[in-house]
């Protein structure tokens, strides 16, 4: 399995490039253990929870605790998104320019910048209106943000699982399937 042509049956060996697999910085994590996928759980979890809190705020008698919690979660997600962006950017810089993986990474990054911007505007709107309730505008921004984040996450999955960015090579992966 150490022949590079085994990466995908439709991919000639001459086009296979392992430069996007090995880390160039400690911020990226170890080989086969990238940091970016770990850090993306912070904004995804925080912003998902924020949307849940927004929904609860719509149906309870006292929405203030949930509206306030939602705003805090948006802020926590924004900090996590910046951290994830740093490590993701380092990973993206390793992908050869002009490739399908590089273009997919660019779109992934641009969508995430848009999502972060939307959530920062969302937080500003909430603070400007007070944190006692969740406005329709804030709720709509959260729904649009989550939908866009889902599309971006799909592209991130494509980078890892289709193109193998920061994924160990198949020879290394095969170690996990040998009898222990």
Higher pLDDT, 27 or 84: 84
The reported pLDDT for the residue numbered 174 is 85
The reported pLDDT for the residue numbered 15 is 43
The reported pLDDT for the residue numbered 154 is 98
**Residue 4, pLDDT above cutoff 50:** no
pLDDT, one tens digit per residue, over 91-143 is 899 999 999 999 999 999 999 999 999 999 999 999 999 999 999 999 999 99
Average pLDDT over residues 163-180: 85
Residue 45: domain span: 28-168
CB count in 10 Å sphere of residue 160: 15
Q: What's the structural domain count of the chain?
A: 1
CB 113 within 8 A of CB 32: no
Look at residue 23 and tell me if it is in a domain: no
Look at residue 148 and tell me if it is in a domain: yes
Q: Map residue 30 onto helix, strand or coil.
A: strand
Phi and psi at residue 166, in whole multiples of 5°? 65, 20
Look at residue 180 and tell me if it is in a domain: no
Model-wide pTM > 0.95: no
Average pLDDT over residues 63-83: 98
Look at residue 124 and tell me if it is in a domain: yes
Strands (E), the chain: 29-30, 33-34
Q: How far apart are CA 98 and CA 117, in angstroms?
A: 27
Tell me which residue of 59, 78, 50 sits closest to 138, measured CA to CA: 50
């Amino acid at each position: 399995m150490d022949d590079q042509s085994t990466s995908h049956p439709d991919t000639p060996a001459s086009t296979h490039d392992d430069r996007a697999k090995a880390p160039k910085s400690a911020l990226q994590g170890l080989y086969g253990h990238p940091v970016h996928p770990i850090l993306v759980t912070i904004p995804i979890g925080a912003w998902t929870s924020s949307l849940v809190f927004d929904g609860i705020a719509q149906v309870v008698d006292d929405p203030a605790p949930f509206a306030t919690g939602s705003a805090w979660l948006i802020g926590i997600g924004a900090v996590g998104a910046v951290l994830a962006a740093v490590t993701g950017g380092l990973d993206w810089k390793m992908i050869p320019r002009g490739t399908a993986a590089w273009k997919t990474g660019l779109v992934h990054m641009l969508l995430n910048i848009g999502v972060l911007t939307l959530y920062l505007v969302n937080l500003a709107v909430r603070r400007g209106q007070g944190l006692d309730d969740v406005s329709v505008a804030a709720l709509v921004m959260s729904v649009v943000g989550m939908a866009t984040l889902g599309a971006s996450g799909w592209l991130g999955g494509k980078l890892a699982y289709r193109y193998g960015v920061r994924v160990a090579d198949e020879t290394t992966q095969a170690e996990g399937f040998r009898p222990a």
